[in-house]
Structure 1
Amino acid sequence: MAPFSRATVCVTGGTGFVASELIKQLLEKAYTVKTTVRNPDDDEKLLHLKALAEGLPGSLSFHKADLLERGAFDSVVQGCTYIFHTASPFFIDSDDPQKALIDPAVKGTENVLQSAAKVSSVSRVVLTSSVAAVQGNFGAPPKNGKLYTEEDWNETSTIEKGQAYHLSKTLAEKAAWKLAKASKFELVTICPNFVLGPVMSRRSSGTSIGYMKGYLEGRGSLGSSANCDVRDVAKAHVLAAEIPSASGRYIISEPAPVPAAKQASEWLQAAFPSVKLSTGEDSKDTKELFDNSKAAKELGLNLTSPKSTLVDMAATMMALGIAKPTTKH
């Protein structure tokens, strides 16, 4: 399965944080990209993607598709070589987690893969999963006492525990593997940790954006946790599609030990000396440690430094007006 110059690919959920960066990288490599969005006529929300398409060698088109509608992706995946299924809600709190999180994640994945199975041109599907499908309880130590690996699965999350997001990603990935076994296409899943990094659109929202926005505006603090850069996550998707030997699951995460929150705060304060920022609080019992060696070995993925991830995210959010921090007097 060699890389195709200007091959046609589909990216679901094109306005998402990861999807936007993925589309950028695909366009840079001259792919023809079809992306699904809720409303192709929402010019403001699509502005950053249209701007990318104008300045890069690939081509981009927008298509309306409902994750919960069976057959909604049948037409858009026609002629595609690769499908990147990134669309899935990412937020922790919801009054109806079954409807808001689990159904879109699981049924959406099933609908996309069922559409892929109908098309002979689709050779590989790359699914955006999460370390939430690897590890259940926040901060729980790995079963082997060392690191979480791709062999681990989240077997503990429930709605009752308040872990609907973790459950949604686990059930969605398991559904994908079940469907892939009965289909001709190959499946590769990407399991990123908490995704941070540069933002493209002033309309960007979500848990990752809210996390950094809260810190920059003095309403929150940085914690000691393993993160990953959106640019690395997107690159992992592309490599997972292009490299013939890529297979199984790939954890994308900072290596252990994770950077201390105090160090992260110092990086940001040094980069933006005029901005008033709080000092991060180091956690003494962080056990969320993940083995990222499979992605390094099999995909050749070299991770962006945690410092660059944080500084670039803060810089773009302030430049776009998403975050409005207090300046020092």
Structure 2
Amino acid sequence: MSQLEKHPAYPAEKDHGPAVVCVTGVTGFVCGPIVARLLELGHTVHGTCRAPEKADTVAHLTSLPGAAERLKLFKADLTGPEGSFDEAMQGCDYVIHTASPYIVNIKPGEAKARLLDPAVHGTASVLGSVNRTPSVKRVVLTSSCAAIYGNPSERGQGHVYTEEDWNPTASETTLPYYYSKKLAEEKAWEMATAQDRWTLVVINPAAIMGPPLSSRSDGESLGMITKILTGKAYPLCPHMGVGMVDIRDVAAAHSLAMVHPGAQGRYICVCRSIWFAEIARVIKEAYPDSHLKPPVGSAPKWLLWAVGPAIGLPRDMVTNLVGQCPHFNNSKIQAELGFSFSPIEKAISDAVEAMLRLGIAKPF
């Protein structure tokens, strides 16, 4: 399916000629639609991943329209030595850095080695290569709303988060994934402000929803959908909410921020906030004849505290997120870049359709 058919190119994307773009972490859930959009717009993509020689992990990328002519894959690792990304970056005009470890349920004592060090070292490694590559003029970093907030009530009930906010709650032992995104983004800004040749633009999405390109996709949002489809969210689901955005909007935001002459700073990329139970209702409404049983109630916090770790919900998340829903001001990206968001209901139903087609989920 064409990325531009339902998510058309913005004027700045249309007006910009073909460029060479280095994209890190191309086998990840978020990256597939970014690569697809860039190729469809006529750009050449230098994609990095840990094992480009493994055909089964890159087949969904190499089969994209334009990939045979304009997609080149390079071996690079966030934990590799200095210079790991130099080869992939040669001749590139832009860099989109999406690669970062995404582990929510992590064992005590493992956060530094598995999350924090790779995220920060990887960002420093990528931007070190940028500093050594004179052709690069802009870097677009995939950060997260996890770098913006930790506990939705940490700044008072009803606070609406903006690009000025930074997560004050997360640490190595509390919401460590959130902390890794904060530290990595801080490192990026530190390195960007230390030079004046290239500019940094940061995209801060929250939960990303939509159709995966690969059956190997392991996005956390897809895990949320799987729990609903398999009945693990029945009869009770966690009473918690998230900001959410269509994955194809995330791809468009990166592509647009890359070329828009007025793009600057951070951009919250969230369509709207949604409760877990509402996600289940959207799926049931999209498939009314299915045997799907949406949740009929919300699990109390004490119960989630007891069973959360066994179902992939760590206790630090129960403490800080259950019973709350964060809210975000997404006006900056709309006002400065002319961006518009797609309905999140469509992203949810398209995710289920793709998961069924790819065999990620079984018919229900």
- Name the TM-score, length of structure 1 as normaliser: 0.91
Question: What residue in structure 1 maps to residue 242 of structure 2?
Answer: 225
Question: What residue in structure 2 maps to residue 82 of structure 1?
Answer: 94
Question: What residue in structure 1 maps to residue 62 of structure 2?
Answer: 50
1:150-189 matches, cutoff 5 A: 150-161=163-174, 163-183=175-195, 184-189=197-202
Question: Aligned partners of 2:179, 2:112: CA distance in 1, in Å?
Answer: 10
**Number of residue equivalences:** 321
Identity %: 40
Q: 2:106 aligns with which of 94, 98, 115?
A: 94
Question: Aligned partners of 1:141, 1:295: CA distance in 2, in Å?
Answer: 24
Answer whether contact 1:141 1:287 (CA < 8 A) is retained.
Answer: no
Q: 2:78 aligns with which of 64, 67, 80?
A: 67
Q: Does 1:120 align with 2:134?
A: yes
Question: What residue in structure 2 maps to residue 245 of structure 1?
Answer: 262
Q: 2:335 aligns with which of 297, 302, 306?
A: 297
Q: 2:293 aligns with which of 278, 290, 310?
A: 278
Question: What residue in structure 2 maps to residue 216 of structure 1?
Answer: 229
Q: Once the 2 structures are TM-superposed, how far is the Cα of residue 108 of structure 1 from its aligned partner?
A: 0.1
Render the CA deviation track for 1:67-119: whole Å, top value 9, x for unaligned: 12211011111111110000001121223111111111100000000100111
Answer whether contact 2:143 2:204 (CA < 8 A) is retained.
Answer: yes
Q: Does 1:14 align with 2:26?
A: yes
Question: Aligned partners of 1:252, 1:179: CA distance in 2, in Å?
Answer: 23
SS in 1 for 2:58: helix
Question: Aligned partners of 1:209, 1:219: CA distance in 2, in Å?
Answer: 14
Structure 2 unmatched runs, 5+: 1-11, 300-321
**Change beyond 3 A, Cα 1:292–1:50:** same
Answer whether contact 2:210 2:248 (CA < 8 A) is retained.
Answer: yes
The code of the aligned residue for 2:249 comes to D
Q: Does 1:313 align with 2:351?
A: yes
Answer whether contact 1:71 1:111 (CA < 8 A) is retained.
Answer: yes
The code of the aligned residue for 1:244 comes to P
Question: Aligned partners of 1:264, 1:145: CA distance in 2, in Å?
Answer: 22
Superposition RMSD on alpha carbons, in Å?
A: 2.2
Q: 2:253 aligns with which of 229, 236, 242?
A: 236
**Change beyond 3 A, Cα 1:58–1:28:** farther
Render the CA deviation track for 1:237-263: whole Å, top value 9, x for unaligned: 1111110110000001123xx345444
Question: What residue in structure 2 maps to residue 203 of structure 1?
Answer: 216
Q: Once the 2 structures are TM-superposed, how far is the Cα of residue 265 of structure 1 from its aligned partner?
A: 2.7
Q: Once the 2 structures are TM-superposed, how far is the Cα of residue 279 of structure 1 from its aligned partner?
A: 2.4
